[in-house]
Structure 1
Amino acid sequence: MTITWVYVQSEPWVYTVGFYAPDGTWHTDSDWNSKEDAADRVHYLNGGKGVE
């Protein structure tokens, strides 16, 4: 199974990083206060270089 990490805006100033399992279950990794930081985390989790 390949996991594709994504972020969603879970509250007005909270971006949650996680992935959806094949059965549709959401699994959270972390919460961020900026879209850019959440995007950086998603990029890293999906195999990109950068911030852990």
Structure 2
Amino acid sequence: MKPPLTWDGYEKMRGQFARGLAFERFMVSQLRADAALPRAMRRYLQDFTED
């Protein structure tokens, strides 16, 4: 049975996955920092409230 990707293909896929995780971590840190600001100073979450 032939694997779906070559080793080079898996390496590329792994790199893209790692890049996606890094972006997700960066965005979570940005949104958490934004949420910690007073509403008037927020860049992304101005209209979000915690109920």
TM-score normalised according to structure 2 size: 0.30
Highest Rg: 1 or 2? 2
Query: Greater helix share, 1 or 2?
Result: 2
